[in-house]
Structure 1
Amino acid sequence: MHNDTPTRIALIRHGETAWNAERRLQGHLDIGLNAEGRRQARALAASLAGERFDVLVSSDLSRASQTAKALGDASGLPLYIDGRLRERCYGGFEGLLYAEIAERFPQAFAAWQARDVDGQLPPGQNKGETFRQFYDRATDAVFGWAADNPGKSLAIVAHGGVLECIYRAALGLSLETPRDFKVLNASVNRFVVRDGKLELVSWGDVAHLQPAVLDDI
């Protein structure tokens, strides 16, 4: 049976962590949400409470799974965990401030900033991935969930890098082009998959994170 209903995806970035706030690179290191991130997760869950999702899935890193759990608690949906939705692994860059990376690994940092998509990262606690390897992993994961759930509505909670990959895939952007679009904590980014093709619907919605505005009293 051919299903003409597009598959809807709300792709959500995890809430803020202490390391996000100080621009320390996380990658595969497992850093939980800070107080602001927990507030963002609650606000996100409240804003999506009226929307029906069929599937809720998250990266296995706690900053994403904690954000997704807030949605699951509000909606009653079970939470599926998929390690393919992890952030890119940055090898020896992980745990360092951007300024420290530039100082310690000047060549690898320059290649990263110049968007060398096959550039190797220095080894660290975890083995780094090239951007191309990461892009293939992240897009395979999201396309896989869409293919397994045709015509359904999915909430996928992941990381800034994963959001970047899916944005590039939807717009057909070359991996070498600079990231000239914002990837915001706890943002909702909407896509549809129609006939196996990914389309961007809306990007970077964070209206739910603003403090509640009172009407004129």
Structure 2
Amino acid sequence: MTEILLIRHGETEWNVGKRLQGHTDIGLNSEGVRQAAALGRALLDEPLDAIFSSDLRRAYDTAQAVALPRGMKVQTEQGLRERCFGAFEGLNHPEIKERYPEDYLAWQHREIDARYPDGERRAETLREFSARAVACISRLASTPGYRKIAVATHGGVLDSIYRRVKNMGYEHPRDFDVLNASINRVTWDGQNFKILQWGDVAHLEHASLDEGDNPK
């Protein structure tokens, strides 16, 4: 049995502007840096056998905030990336609806095999993305000798794991939290995931870059 601390990356400016990030490599904003630092402090005494991260900066820098105070190394995995949205990346909802009205409808209906127009990269279907994300986390958690690992990743990956546990179809609208810098505790027994705790952000309350100070 392996416990997985699934962590969504800290906040970015594109999160604030509700722009799809996908594979676009956006860094943390100042709030995201604050969140990551608070996360690192909260997990400082947590026994971890390994720390993994998506290779995109927003996830990697979040993982580094956990790893550096412990003297651990972050291992990057492309399989932990967010879904690639093709031409949708960099756009917000109104812009996508205006430029790609039919594809926007497919997105809103959560059509699992819809492939959006290509942008800088070829878009993934929801089926392709979820299979890739779940397989990557299953593989990491199955590494011999690992009892507890931290995985810094993206909202879509957390969504995929939650739906896998709850046997929830992708056509069902998201009715659960996927929060920046949240800790989501899940176990893997070699065949199935089980949720122990979801959406924990208690560590972010009143936290600042310098512990004990409140810059606001």
For normalisation by structure 1, the TM-score amounts to 0.93
Tell me what 2:71 maps to: 76
Q: Is the partner of 1:115 in helix, strand or coil?
A: coil
| Residue 176 of structure 1, CA deviation | 2.0
Tell me what 1:123 maps to: 118
Tell me what 2:140 maps to: 145
CA distance in 1, matches of 2:161, 2:98: 31
Tell me what 2:57 maps to: 62
Per-residue CA deviation, residues 77-109 of structure 1 (Å, 9 max, x unaligned), is 111000010000000000111110111111101
Gaps of 5+ in 1: 1-5
Q: Which runs of 4+ in 1 moved over 2 A?
A: none
Identity of aligned residues (%): 47
Moved more, 195-204 or 182-191: 195-204
1:31 matched to 2:21? The reply is no
Amino acid at match of 2:59: A
Cα contact 1:56–1:80 (8 A) shared by 2: yes
CA distance in 1, matches of 2:200, 2:144: 24
Cα contact 1:191–1:199 (8 A) shared by 2: yes
Equivalent residue in structure 1 for 2:40, among 35, 41, 45: 45
| Residue 195 of structure 1, CA deviation | 4.5
| Coordinate RMSD, CA, aligned | 1.4
Q: Is the partner of 2:184 in helix, strand or coil?
A: strand
Per-residue CA deviation, residues 27-49 of structure 1 (Å, 9 max, x unaligned), is 00000000000000000000111
Q: Is the partner of 1:204 in helix, strand or coil?
A: strand
CA distance in 2, matches of 1:89, 1:40: 25
Cα contact 1:85–1:141 (8 A) shared by 2: yes
1:170 matched to 2:162? The reply is no
Cα contact 2:49–2:146 (8 A) shared by 1: no
Cα contact 1:7–1:150 (8 A) shared by 2: no
CA distance in 1, matches of 2:190, 2:73: 27
Q: Is the partner of 1:148 in helix, strand or coil?
A: coil
Q: How many residues align?
A: 209
Gaps of 5+ in 2: none
Tell me what 1:205 maps to: 200
CA distance in 1, matches of 2:206, 2:122: 40
Moved more, 71-80 or 23-32: 71-80
